């Protein structure tokens, strides 16, 4: 066992302990775990309602580009926590498991390998290291699987006891960060569900999607604009949370408007516009990084690139007698708000609302192209189109 590996693990743990967003964190945990033992692929499951819910898969062979940690797919898959699957077995026994070749598992074992994903993706899984994520109350909160260890020449080899030791050490500490991030996400979801009680259209699924689309658009846009990987990784984490909160200001809108089954009258719509300001007020005191971004997004997500949006320039958010200002324009609108504007409208158009039917996908994309340079920042539209496949897959996952 090399000491340098353990020092490296400590350094990685220090880095990931700053990540507040659960999705970003899991992605990073998986990436780092794979680096520690030099593995080609991996996936993470979290326990949700007695199932192992498949959160992420990363695969260098299929997706290429090792440094680009965004190689996950939005998938929808869960497996029961029982001893029939490898992951389930590890969760039940609370022990790591080394398998040299998943296609040659002894028939005496209760578990077997599910080759469906291999078949779908034309990938061959061989060696697998499965590590349960156990918290300090001895509760299993998930499992991660590291797939196909490689030697210096890229040949697939077996995982060793040393690998398993390092992965366990890493997992034990990573669980602390993971549980904290799960709690943060739960607090935010609770905040959102309070908003949802007021506005049943603003579902958990909608806010999850808007958060996820925004991150995908941002990553592409930021790369295109020369922002470094490190800064992108840091910001996207905060962006997801802040984007999820874009409409919490709707809690302050009266029921008669919020729950209206048909079209809003002119005056009702004017009142509705204040949800941007009410939302911004909720985040106006604290100075934490995501409060600042949440405030920017709440306030500006209905501004339009051509200046025809709302609420426009407001001098004092807390002032009692608020009036809407002249719409902000172009780059005066913060980039995160320009991104969420597109993500939000895309989702609203794809979805059923009390006042509208879902639009067909083609009509939605035509509309977005049409509004490029009017409602939307053209460079944001361009990035959105470039990551279209991911956007569609997010739509499918949280639905
Ligand atoms: P929302 O439902 O989340 O919609 C977000 C944005 O998506 C809208 O912002 C608008 O830009 C776009 N959008 C949604 N549906 C349509 C549509 O059918 N056609 C087009 N072209 N764009 C659409 P907007 O208009 O500023 O509305 C903000 C919020 O006000 C909406 O959020 C919704 O909560 C409420 N709202 C707007 N119009 C109506 C309405 O006629 N009836 C009711 N009950 N609520 C409305
Ligand atoms: C799967 O990919 O279906 C899960 C692998 C396993 O743990 O059996
Ligand atoms: C959903 O499709 O899950 C809800 C629709 C909405 O976001 O209003
Ligand atoms: Fe809004
Ligand atoms: Fe919305």
Mutate to test the pocket of ligand 1, among 254, 265, 272, 369 (most ligand atoms within 8 A of CB): 272
Which CATH code of 1.10.443.10, 3.90.1150.10, 3.30.450.40, 3.40.50.720 fits the domain covering 3-181? 3.30.450.40
Candidate from 79, 84, 102, 111 with most ligand 2 atoms within 8 A of CB, to mutate: 79
Write the residue with the smallest CA distance to atom 10 of ligand 1.
345
What are 169-198's pLDDT values in tens digits? 999 989 999 998 888 778 877 877 777 767
pLDDT, position 1: 65
- The pLDDT-based confidence of 76 (bands split at 50, 70, 90) is low
Q: What is the mean pLDDT of residues 382-398?
A: 93
Instruction: Report which ligand 3 atom has the smallest distance to the Cα of 206.
Output: 7
In sequence order, the β-bridge partners of residue 45 are 54, 143
Q: Tell me, what's the pLDDT at 19?
A: 80
Report the largest interatomic distance among the alpha carbons of the chain, rounded to a whole angstrom: 75
Nearest ligand 3 atom to the CA of 352 is 5
Say if ligand 3 is within 6 A of residue 17 CB. no
Q: Is pTM beyond 0.85 here?
A: no
54-70 pLDDT per residue, tens: 887 788 877 654 333 33
Q: How far apart are CA 244 and CA 234, in angstroms?
A: 17
Per-residue pLDDT band at 120 (split at 50, 70, 90): confident
Say if ligand 3 is within 6 A of residue 209 CB.
no
Q: Using alpha carbons only, what angle is made at residue 333 by residues 328 and 338, rounded to the nearest 5 degrees?
A: 120
What pLDDT is attached to residue 69? 36
Higher pLDDT, 327 or 5: 327
| Position in ligand 2 atom list of the atom nearest CA 86 | 7
pLDDT value of residue 185 = 78
What pLDDT does 151 receive?
Answer: 94
Domain ranges of the chain: 3-181, 199-397
User: What is the percent of the chain where pLDDT is above 70?
Assistant: 92
Q: Which ligand lies nearest the alpha carbon of 298?
A: 4
CB 43 within 8 A of CB 113: no
Per annotation, catalytic residue among 219, 250, 304, 328? 250
pLDDT on residue 200: 66
- What pLDDT score was predicted for residue 91? 97
100: enclosing H helix or E strand: none
Give 349's contacts (C-beta < 8 A, 6+ positions apart): 358, 359, 363, 364, 367
Q: Please say if 250 is a catalytic residue.
A: yes
CA 362 to chain centre: 25
What's the pLDDT tens digit per position in 290-346? 788 999 999 999 999 999 999 998 877 776 667 788 899 999 999 999 999 999 999
On the question of pLDDT at 399 being above 80, the answer is no
Pocket test of ligand 3: the residue of 76, 202, 203, 213 to mutate, having most ligand atoms within 8 Å of its CB, is 203
Residue 157 has pLDDT above 80, yes or no: yes
Nearest CA to ligand 2 atom 3: 114
Task: Give me the mean pLDDT over the 116-144 stretch.
Answer: 92
Residue 167 token pair: 């992965």
pLDDT band at 132 (very low <50, low <70, confident <90, very high): very high
pLDDT above 90 (res 2):
no
**Residue 113, ligand 2, Cβ within 6 A:** yes
Q: Note the pLDDT tens digit of each residue in 343-358.
A: 999 999 999 988 899 9
Residue 63 has a pLDDT of 60
On average, the pLDDT of the chain sits at: 89
Is residue 388 lining ligand 1, measured as CB closer than 6 Å? no
Going from the Cα of 85 to the center of ligand 2, the distance in angstroms, rounded, reads 6
Please state, in angstroms and rounded to a whole number, the distance separating the CA atoms of residues 220 and 285: 31
- The separation between CA 76 and the C-alpha centre of its own chain, rounded to angstroms, equals 14
pLDDT at 252 over 60: yes
Which of 57-66, 221-230, 380-389 has the weakest average pLDDT? Answer: 57-66
Contacts of residue 241, defined as CB under 8 A and 6 or more positions apart, other chains included, come to 20, 21, 184, 185, 188, 211, 290, 294
CA dist., res. 364 & res. 130, Å (int): 42
CA of 185 from ligand 5 middle (Å) equals 18
Question: Minimum-distance ligand to the CA of 275?
Answer: 4
* Ligand 2 center to 56 CA (angstroms): 12
Which atom, in ligand 2's list, is nearest to the CA of 112? 8
203 Cβ below 6 A of ligand 3: yes
CA–centroid distance for 250 within its chain: 23
Highest average pLDDT, of 7-21, 28-42, 158-172, 370-384, comes from 370-384
Instruction: Please check whether residue 133 is in contact with residue 175, taking contact to mean a CB–CB distance below 8 angstroms.
Output: yes
Cβ of residue 344 lying under 6 Å from some atom of ligand 1: yes
For residue 58, the model assigns a pLDDT of 82
CB-ligand 3 contact for 69 (6 Å cutoff): no
Instruction: Say yes or no to pLDDT of 73 above 80.
Output: no
Share of the chain above pLDDT 90, in %: 59
DSSP-assigned letter for residue 149: E
pLDDT band of residue 38 (cuts 50, 70, 90) is: very high
348 in contact with ligand 3, CB cutoff 6 A? no
Q: Which CATH superfamily is domain 199-397 in?
A: Hypothetical protein af1432 (1.10.3210.10)
State the pLDDT at residue 183. 86
Q: What pLDDT is stored for residue 343 in this prediction?
A: 98
């Amino acid at each position: 066992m090399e000491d340098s590996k353990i020092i490296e693990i400590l350094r990685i743990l220090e880095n990931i302990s700053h990540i507040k967003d659960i999705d970003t964190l899991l992605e990073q945990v998986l990436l780092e775990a794979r680096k520690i033992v030099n593995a080609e692929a991996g996936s993470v499951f979290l326990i949700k309602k007695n199932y192992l819910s498949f959160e992420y898969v990363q695969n260098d062979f299929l997706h290429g580009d090792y440094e680009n940690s965004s190689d996950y797919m939005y998938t929808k898959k869960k497996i029961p926590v029982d001893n029939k699957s490898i992951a389930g077995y590890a969760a039940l026994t609370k022990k790591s498991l080394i398998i040299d070749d998943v296609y040659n598992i002894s028939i005496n074992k209760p578990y077997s390998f599910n080759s469906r994903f291999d078949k779908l993706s034309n990938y061959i899984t061989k060696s697998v290291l499965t590590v349960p994520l156990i918290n300090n109350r001895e509760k299993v909160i998930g499992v991660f699987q590291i797939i196909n260890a490689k030697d210096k020449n890229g040949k697939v080899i077996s995982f060793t006891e040393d690998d398993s030791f390092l992965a366990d050490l890493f997992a034990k500490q990573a669980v602390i960060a993971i549980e904290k991030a799960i709690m943060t996400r739960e607090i935010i979801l609770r905040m959102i569900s309070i908003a949802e009680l007021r506005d049943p259209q603003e579902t958990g699924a909608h806010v999850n999607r808007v958060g996820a689309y925004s991150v995908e658009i941002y990553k592409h846009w930021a790369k295109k604009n020369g922002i470094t990987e490190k800064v992108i990784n840091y910001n996207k984490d905060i962006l997801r949370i802040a984007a999820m909160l874009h409409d919490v200001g709707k809690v302050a809108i009266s029921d008669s408007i919020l729950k209206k089954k048909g079209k809003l009258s002119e005056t009702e719509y004017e009142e509705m516009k204040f949800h941007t300001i009410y939302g911004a007020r909720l985040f106006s005191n604290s100075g934490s990084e995501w409060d600042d971004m949440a405030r920017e997004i709440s306030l500006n997500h209905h501004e339009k690139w051509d200046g025809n949006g709302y609420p426009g320039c407001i001098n004092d958010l807390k002032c009692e007698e608020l009036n809407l200002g002249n719409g902000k324009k172009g780059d005066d609108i913060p980039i995160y708000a320009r991104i969420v504007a597109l993500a939000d409208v895309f989702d609203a158009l794809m979805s059923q609302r009390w006042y509208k039917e879902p639009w067909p996908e083609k009509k939605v994309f035509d509309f977005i192209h049409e509004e490029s340079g009017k409602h939307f920042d053209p460079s944001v539209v361009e990035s959105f189109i470039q990551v279209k496949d991911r956007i569609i897959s997010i739509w499918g996952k949280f639905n």
